[in-house]
C-alpha cells in the first residue's frame, strides 16, 4: 500500500500526492497519536522538556496535516475533498475542545507556571504559558461537566456552520455565468479581460464570451464596461450571492442566525455577557465600547470628506456622463471616469506596466532592501500548475523560510487574498530549528494571448499586503511554537506588518523598478506615476467610511447580548444611516457574503483593519523621517516587531520600535485627511 502523504513529515508537504481518500485515515491516525500524547502529558513532570515539548510534538503533527487539508479545501475544492474535509472537521473540533477543557492538563500548566523552572524562562516561554492558561479558561476548563459538554457541542457546530458558509459563497460564485455573443456589449472592457472571457467561452464549448462573478471579471465589468445593463446584471447577481434568491441549500441567511445564536450562547457559558467581550479577551482593545468609540471618532473625521466625495461624483455623473441618478452599478464606472478627468490617470493605463515578472522582482527587491534577505526560486510538490515556491535566505545563505505563491483566480478556489501558515518555526527537543513555511494566495487574472499577467496597482498593493503577513510569520526568531510568528499576536495587531508593507508600493524608485510595459518593456513614465500619486487619495473619504460601515456592523452585531430581533439587515441599515454615503439597494444581501466575520477569524474583530492601520501608518512614518536609512530602520522593525512574534504584547513591540505610543497623525495624513491627536492604547 502506498504510504499516506498526510502522514509524511520528513520534508515538504506532498501536495501532488494528497487525495480525498487520504484525509480520513490520516486524521484518525494523528488524532490517536495526539490522544496518546495527552494521556502521557497528564502524568508527566510539569517541566518544559517533559510536558510542553512532547505535547507540542504530537499536536503539531495533527495541526500540520489538518492545515494541508484545509488549505486544499480552499484552493482546490472538489466534491470529494469537501466531503472528506467536512467528515473530519467535527473530529478536529471535538479534540481541541476536549484538550482545552482537560482539568488535568490545566492543572499541569498551572503547576508549570508556578514552578522554580519558570523563574529562569525567557519572555517567549512565559508568554506562551500565560496564553495557554488564558486559553484553558476561554476553552471552558473551569466549567462544570454539563457546561463543558455544551460548549464542545457549540464549538463543533460553529466550525461546521462556518465551513458551510464559505462553501455556499464559493458554489454560488462558481455556478453563475453569463454568455455574450455581441462584442459591442463588452465595450470599454480591457483587452485582457475580453480575451479571458473568450477563453472561458471556448472552454465551455461555446462561441462568444463567458462572464463570471470571479473578481478578475466582475471588477473590470463594474469599473470599465460602458454597457450599463451589463454592469447592472453582474451587480445584481453578485449582490444576492448565497441568499434566499438562490437554491435553498446555498442560503447563508439561516446560517447567520444560527451562528449568532451559538456565539451568544458560547459567551454566556464562559461568563461573558456578550460575544464581543469574549472576542476581545485575546485582543489589544479592552472593551467593545473602546472599539466603537475609536470607529466613531474616525467616522467623524472621515464623513465630511466622504460626503464631499459623493457630491462631486453625483455632479460629475449628472453633468458629464448624463446620469440623472447614480445607481450602485454606476459607482465604480463613474468614479473611474472622474479620476481620469481630474488626474488624467487611468488605472487600466498603469496596469499595462505592472507585469507579473517585474512586480515579483520589485517585491523581492523590497524584502532585500528592508531586511537584507534574498528570495530565490525553489522546488516543491504543488496543488496546481500555477503555484510557485520560493526560499528566503540571509546574507550568509542560511535558510530563513519558504513560501508558496498562488496568484490566479480559478474555479474551485475561494475568493479573496490571504496568508496562512504551512509550518511554523520552533526549536525541537534535539536543538534543531524548524524553519517556517507559508502560503500566499491571491485571485488575480492570468495573462492572455501568450502575454504575462498584468496587475492593477491595487492588486500590487494586495500582493505586498499578503507578503507582509508572510514576513511576520517567516522572520520570527521565537523558538516557542505557541508564540512564534503570528501565534499569540493580538488579532487587532495582526494587520500591522501587512498594511505596513503596502506603503512601499508608492515609492517612485520601487515603482520604476517593478514596471515594464507588457508590449514595449518600458518602465512606468514618471509623469504617469505623478498622476497616480495625485490620485492616491481619490475618494479616500468614501473608502474609509465603507470600511467603518463593515467594522461598526460587525462590532454592534456582536456587542449585543442577543442577535438583533429585527434581523441583521435592519442593523446594517441603521449603521448605514449613521456612516454610509453609498447605499446599496434594499434587496442587496451583503451579510450573506461577509465571510470575514461568519467564516473567518474576524468576528467582533473586523475593526482590526483600521485599528492596525494607525499602527502601520505610524510605523512607516519612521522610514519617511529617515529616508536615507532604510536598512537601519528596516533592521529595527524586523528586530522589534517581526522577529518578536507573539512573545510580548504588540503595543510593547510598537513602543520598542517607535520609542513612543502610536499616533493617528500619519494615517490621516496618508489618507489625505487632516491630522489629529495622539491615539491612546
Whole-number Å distance between alpha carbons of 454 and 446:
8
Could you read off the pLDDT of 275-310 as tens digits, one per residue?
999 999 999 999 999 999 999 999 999 999 999 999
- pLDDT per position as a tens digit, 577-628: 999 999 999 999 999 999 999 998 999 999 999 999 999 999 999 999 998 8
Residues 469/486, Cβ–Cβ less than 8 Å: yes
In the chain, CATH 1.20.1050.40 sits at: 5-100+102-142
Burial class of residue 181 (count of CB atoms within 10 Å of its CB; 0-12, 13-18, 19+): exposed
pLDDT digits (tens, 9 = 90+) for 31-55: 999 999 999 999 999 999 999 999 9
Residue 392 has what pLDDT? 98
User: What is the enclosing helix (H) or strand (E) of 77?
Assistant: none
d(Cα 258, Cα 243) in Å, to the nearest integer?
15
**Confidence (pLDDT) at 448:** 84
661 is catalytic: no
Per-residue pLDDT reduced to its tens digit, 197-241: 999 999 999 999 999 999 999 999 999 999 999 999 999 999 999
What class has domain 250-345+539-606? mainly alpha
Average of per-residue pLDDT values in the chain: 95
Express each pLDDT in 187-199 by its tens digit.
999 999 999 999 9
> Is the CB of residue 452 less than 8 Å from the CB of residue 357?
yes
Residue with cell 518555526: 425
CB under 8 Å to 646, separation ≥6 — which residues? 127, 131, 478, 482, 483, 484, 485, 486, 487, 488, 489, 490
Per-residue confidence band for 374, with pLDDT thresholds at 50, 70 and 90: very high
Do 611 and 271 form a contact (C-beta atoms < 8 A)? no
CA atoms lying within 13 Å on the CB side of residue 20: 13
What does the pLDDT read at residue 1?
Answer: 60
How is residue 643 annotated by DSSP?
T
Looking at the chain, the domain(s) classified CATH 1.10.1370.10 span 250-345+539-606
The C-alpha cell that represents 659 in the structure block: 520609542
Cα angle at 627 between 622 and 628, to 5 degrees? 125
pLDDT at 102 over 50: yes
Delimiting residues of CATH 1.10.1370.40 domain(s) in the chain? 356-526
Cell of 433: 530549528
The pLDDT assigned to 679 comes to 35
Residues 6+ apart with CB under 8 A from 506: 533, 536
Question: Does the model's pTM come out above 0.85?
Answer: yes
Q: Which of 466, 502, 556, 613 is catalytic?
A: 466
* Residue of higher predicted confidence among 680 and 515: 515
Instruction: Look at residue 678 and tell me whether its pLDDT is greater than 60.
Output: no
Dist CA 91 CA 102 (whole Å):
16
183 CA to centre of own chain: 36
pLDDT tens, position by position, 614-665: 999 999 999 999 988 889 999 999 999 999 999 999 999 999 999 999 999 9
* Structure confidence at residue 681 as a pLDDT band (50, 70, 90): very low
The pairing of beta strand 433-434 with beta strand 374-378? unpaired
Point out which residues pair with 212 in neighbouring strands.
Answer: 177
Residue 516 pLDDT: 97
| Averaged pLDDT for residues 447-460 | 93
CATH number of 356-526: 1.10.1370.40
Cβ within 8 Å of residue 586, ≥6 positions away: none
Alpha carbons within 13 A on the beta-carbon side of 669? 14
Read off the pLDDT band of 242 (50, 70, 90): very high
> Residue 188 CB: number of other CB atoms within 10 A?
18
> Domain 5-100+102-142: which topology?
Glutathione S-transferase Yfyf (Class Pi); Chain A, domain 2 (1.20.1050)
Residue 674 pLDDT: 60
Q: What is the pLDDT of residues 133-146, one digit of tens each?
A: 999 999 999 999 99
Crossing angle of helices 103-113/20-43, nearest 10°? 60
Amino acid at each position: 500500500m502506498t504510504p499516506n502523504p498526510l502522514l509524511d513529515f520528513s520534508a515538504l508537504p506532498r501536495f501532488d500526492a494528497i487525495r480525498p481518500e487520504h484525509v480520513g485515515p490520516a486524521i484518525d491516525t494523528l488524532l490517536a497519536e495526539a490522544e496518546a500524547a495527552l494521556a502521557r502529558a497528564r502524568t508527566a513532570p510539569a517541566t518544559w522538556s517533559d510536558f510542553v515539548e512532547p505535547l507540542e510534538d504530537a499536536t503539531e503533527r495533527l495541526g500540520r496535516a489538518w492545515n494541508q487539508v484545509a488549505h486544499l479545501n480552499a484552493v482546490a475544492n472538489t466534491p470529494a475533498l469537501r466531503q472528506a474535509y467536512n467528515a473530519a472537521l467535527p473530529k478536529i473540533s471535538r479534540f481541541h475542545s476536549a484538550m482545552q477543557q482537560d482539568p488535568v492538563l490545566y492543572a499541569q500548566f498551572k503547576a508549570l507556571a508556578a514552578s522554580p523552572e519558570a523563574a529562569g524562562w525567557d519572555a517567549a516561554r512565559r508568554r506562551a504559558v500565560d496564553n495557554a492558561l488564558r486559553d484553558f479558561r476561554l476553552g471552558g476548563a473551569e466549567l462544570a461537566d454539563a457546561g463543558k459538554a455544551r460548549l464542545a457541542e457549540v464549538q463543533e457546530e460553529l466550525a461546521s456552520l462556518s465551513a458551510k458558509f464559505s462553501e455556499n459563497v464559493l458554489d454560488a460564485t462558481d455556478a453563475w455565468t453569463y454568455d455574450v455573443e455581441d462584442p459591442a456589449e463588452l465595450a470599454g472592457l480591457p483587452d485582457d479581460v475580453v480575451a479571458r472571457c473568450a477563453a472561458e467561452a471556448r472552454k465551455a464549448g461555446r462561441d462568444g464570451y463567458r462572464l463570471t462573478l470571479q473578481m478578475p471579471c466582475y471588477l473590470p465589468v463594474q469599473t470599465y464596461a460602458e454597457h450599463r445593463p451589463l454592469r447592472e446584471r453582474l451587480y445584481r447577481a453578485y449582490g444576492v450571492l448565497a441568499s434566499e434568491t438562490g437554491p435553498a441549500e446555498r442560503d447563508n441567511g439561516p446560517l447567520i442566525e444560527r451562528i449568532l445564536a451559538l456565539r451568544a450562547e458560547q459567551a454566556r457559558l464562559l461568563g461573558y455577557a456578550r460575544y464581543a467581550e469574549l472576542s476581545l479577551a485575546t485582543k489589544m482593545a479592552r472593551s467593545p465600547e473602546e472599539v466603537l468609540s475609536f470607529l466613531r471618532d474616525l467616522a467623524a473625521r472621515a464623513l465630511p470628506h466622504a460626503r464631499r466625495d459623493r457630491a462631486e461624483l453625483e455632479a460629475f455623473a449628472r453633468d458629464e456622463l448624463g446620469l440623472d441618478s447614480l445607481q450602485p452599478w454606476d459607482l465604480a464606472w463613474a468614479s473611474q471616469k472622474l479620476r481620469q478627468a481630474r488626474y488624467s490617470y487611468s488605472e487600466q493605463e498603469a496596469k499595462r506596466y505592472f507585469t507579473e515578472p517585474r512586480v515579483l522582482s520589485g517585491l523581492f527587491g523590497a524584502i532585500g532592501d528592508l531586511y537584507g534577505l534574498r528570495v530565490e526560486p525553489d522546488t516543491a510538490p504543488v496543488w496546481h500548475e500555477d503555484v510557485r515556491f520560493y526560499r528566503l535566505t540571509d546574507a550568509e545563505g542560511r535558510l530563513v523560510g519558504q513560501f508558496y505563491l498562488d496568484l490566479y483566480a480559478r474555479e474551485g478556489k475561494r475568493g479573496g487574498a490571504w496568508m496562512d501558515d504551512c509550518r511554523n518555526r520552533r526549536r525541537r527537543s534535539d536543538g534543531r530549528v524548524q524553519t517556517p513555511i507559508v502560503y500566499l494566495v491571491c485571485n488575480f487574472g492570468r495573462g492572455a494571448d501568450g502575454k504575462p499577467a498584468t496587475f492593477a496597482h491595487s492588486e500590487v498593493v494586495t500582493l505586498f499586503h499578503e507578503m507582509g503577513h508572510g514576513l511576520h510569520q517567516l522572520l520570527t526568531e521565537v523558538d516557542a511554537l505557541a508564540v512564534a510568528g503570528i501565534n499569540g499576536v493580538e488579532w487587532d495587531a495582526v494587520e500591522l506588518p501587512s498594511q505596513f508593507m503596502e506603503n512601499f508600493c508608492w515609492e517612485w524608485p520601487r515603482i520604476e523598478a517593478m514596471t515594464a510595459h507588457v508590449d514595449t518593456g518600458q518602465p512606468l513614465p514618471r509623469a504617469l506615476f505623478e498622476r497616480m500619486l495625485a490620485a492616491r487619495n481619490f475618494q479616500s473619504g468614501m473608502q474609509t467610511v465603507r470600511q467603518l460601515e463593515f467594522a461598526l456592523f460587525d462590532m454592534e452585531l456582536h456587542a449585543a447580548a442577543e442577535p438583533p430581533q429585527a434581523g441583521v439587515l435592519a442593523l446594517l441599515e441603521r449603521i448605514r444611516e449613521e456612516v454610509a454615503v453609498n447605499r446599496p439597494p434594499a434587496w442587496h444581501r451583503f451579510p450573506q457574503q461577509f465571510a470575514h466575520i461568519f467564516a473567518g477569524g474576524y468576528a467582533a474583530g473586523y475593526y482590526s483593519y483600521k485599528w492596525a492601520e494607525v499602527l502601520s501608518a505610524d510605523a512607516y512614518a519612521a522610514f519617511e523621517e529617515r529616508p536615507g536609512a532604510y536598512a537601519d530602520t528596516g533592521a529595527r522593525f524586523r528586530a522589534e516587531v517581526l522577529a518578536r512574534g507573539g512573545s510580548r504584547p504588540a503595543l510593547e513591540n510598537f513602543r520598542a520600535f517607535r520609542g513612543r505610543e502610536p499616533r493617528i497623525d500619519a494615517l490621516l495624513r496618508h489618507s489625505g485627511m487632516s491630522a489629529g491627536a495622539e491615539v491612546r492604547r
